[in-house]
Amino acid sequence: MTTLRKRRDFLALRGGRRASTPGFLLLGRDNPEAANAARVGLTVTKKLGGAVVRNRIRRRLRAAVREIFPQFAAPGADYVLIARPAAYDRNFGALLDDMKRALLRLRRDPK
């Protein structure tokens, strides 16, 4: 699994499918150029808090991605996780369940 780093890759997902959870908003879109692996990007804005808070949210979301995405992410798709304040103190098991449900919802959605 690779990471989205360029702004144009993040902007390309704005018109894609979306799944909302208490801890994050997941955007997804098929990417014909990367047919064999899913790519993931994270967005954690300054509205959520200082550097310590943002880094903790980033670490928690990355850990959840490492655990859930290999099984449930569609190969050849790009995803962006936009963090919400609940990602900071939400139970990690609940965060994993939210991520699993969001990925399954995006795979079902034909948009």
pLDDT tens digits for range 6-26: 999 999 999 889 999 999 999
Mean pLDDT of 66-72: 95
Domain boundaries, the chain: 2-105
CATH topology of domain 2-105: Ribosomal Protein S5; domain 2 (3.30.230)
pLDDT for 21: 97
pLDDT for 107: 86
- Distance (Å, rounded) from C-alpha 15 to C-alpha 89? 29
Mean pLDDT of 15-39: 89
Q: Are 38 and 72 in contact (CB under 8 A)?
A: no
- Give 111's pLDDT tier (boundaries 50, 70, 90): low
- Distance (Å, rounded) from C-alpha 85 to C-alpha 50? 12
pLDDT for 32: 78
**What angle, 0 to 180 degrees and rounded to 10, lies between the N-to-C axes of helices 92-108 and 51-72?**
50
Percentage with pLDDT > 90 across the chain: 79
- Give 110's pLDDT tier (boundaries 50, 70, 90): low
pTM exceeding the 0.75 threshold for the entire prediction? yes
